[in-house]
Copies of this chain bind each other. A is one copy, B any other.
Amino acid sequence: MSLTPEQLFEIENQRSQTAPTARTVSEGMESHLYTAYPVLDHGFVRVIDYMGDDAAICQAARVSYGKGTKSVQNDEGLIRYLMRHWHSTPFEMCEIKLHVKLPVFVARQWIRHRTANVNEYSARYSILDREFYIPAPDQVAAQSAINNQGRGDMLQGEEAARVLEILKADSTRAYDSYENMISQEGQQGLARELARMNLPANIYTQWYWKVDLHNLFHFLRLRADSHAQYEIRVYAEEMCKIVADWVPAAYQAFADYRMGGAQLSAMGVDCIRRMLAGEAVTQDSSGMSAREWREFEALIKPET
């Protein structure tokens, strides 16, 4: 992460200024406000604003006149009930606004989550910085042999080094060309909206991203999952920590019923019933495909 002294000053400045509000305040979240948490080599996530807390979820579910909370225990029970039974609308009553700096190829995955508000730094209007994502050496992975859409083992030393060399050299050259084309020294200078097309997908962009808690949980379930691409997963994991401090009860329910849970198929339910009744079920007698059976076996075998 590479913030300028001026940027750090602005962040510190905002953190230190408080004003009284009659709104719901989440103490856990106040401590995160504005701080830029580093992700990848130049990226970050920081909270710009938020609305609501655990109590606000209950307040909306109860359509209350007051704070709408009863005992903490009672509220937790309600939140867990809502999560377990897919009552999603009360979670939509909390909102978060983030400032994120991220490589363009990560941004392209991220934006597929449509139920959110976005303002991205405009490369038509402004000049992008010379900042590119170069993987850490322990993230230079080979194509997976078993999953077309994923990575496998780490590349061996020399090949990994060559890859890093290529990425660095090509980024440098692409940015040199970019600067060269838009320069107005001794020439007219190419329009920014055209010049940007020369920049590779590992250049960093940034945006303000605002989303409600229900849709954020949906994002986190998919992107903090072990099957998500590493480069977006690290953002999701950083966000999980923040959300856990913002709405602790809702986050725990999310961890228990979504992240840590599993979806069983009709065949899976049937197999478990039969296995618990003592039957020795095999793939052949399970009604599942080979691939699905592998996933099922992984689910039910004891953690080691």
Question: Nearest residue in B to A212 (C-beta to C-beta)?
Answer: B117
- When the two chains form their complex, are residues B51 and A22 in contact, meaning their CB atoms are under 8 A apart? no
Chain A: residues with Cβ within 8 Å of the partner, total of 143
Per the bound structure, the CA–CA distance linking A174 and B207 in Å amounts to: 26
| Contact, CB under 8 Å: A18 / B22 | yes
A282 CB contacts on chain B under 8 angstroms: none
User: Is the pair A21, B10 in contact by a Cβ cutoff of 8 Å?
Assistant: no
A146: Cβ under 8 A from any B Cβ: no
| A241 proximal to B (CB < 8 A) | no
Give the residues in chain B near A51, CB-CB below 8 Å: 49-51, 95, 97
C-alpha spacing A121/B65, complex, angstroms = 12
Q: Which residues of B contact A11 (CB under 8 A)?
A: 65-66
Q: Which residues of B contact A289 (CB under 8 A)?
A: 77, 80
* Contacting pair A151 B191 (CB below 8 A): yes
Q: How far, in Å, is A275 (CB) from chain B's closest CB?
A: 6
CB-defined contacts of A141 to chain B, threshold 8 Å: 190-191, 194
Interfacial residues of chain A within 11-62, with CB under 8 A of chain B in the complex: 11, 13-25, 30, 33-34, 48-52, 56, 59-61
Which of the residues B21, B119, B255, B302 comes within 8 Å of A60, measured between beta carbons? B119
Does B93 contact A229, Cβ atoms closer than 8 Å? no
Question: Given A14-B66, A51-B49, are A197 and B202 also a contact pair (CB < 8 Å)?
Answer: yes
User: For chain A residues 170-217, which have a beta carbon within 8 Å of chain B?
Assistant: 170-171, 173-174, 177, 180-182, 184, 187-194, 196-202, 206-208, 210, 212
- Contact partner, A17, options B18, B22, B65, B159, Cβ 8 Å: B22
Whether A190 pairs with B163 at a CB distance below 8 angstroms is: yes
Task: Given the known inter-chain contacts A21-B18, A257-B263, A260-B265, please indicate yes or no for A120 contacting B63, CB distance below 8 A.
Answer: yes
Q: Is the CB of B33 within 8 A of A23?
A: yes
Contact across chains for B292 and A143 when beta carbons are under 8 A apart: no
Contact A142 B191 (CB under 8 A): yes
Q: Which 8 A-B pairs have the closest CB atoms?
A: A260-B266, A10-B66, A151-B191, A92-B117, A197-B202, A142-B188, A18-B20, A7-B65
Subset of 16 A-B contacts with CB under 8 Å = A49-B56, A65-B99, A105-B197, A140-B194, A142-B188, A150-B191, A151-B193, A163-B194, A167-B198, A174-B200, A197-B200, A198-B200, A256-B266, A261-B265, A261-B268, A262-B268
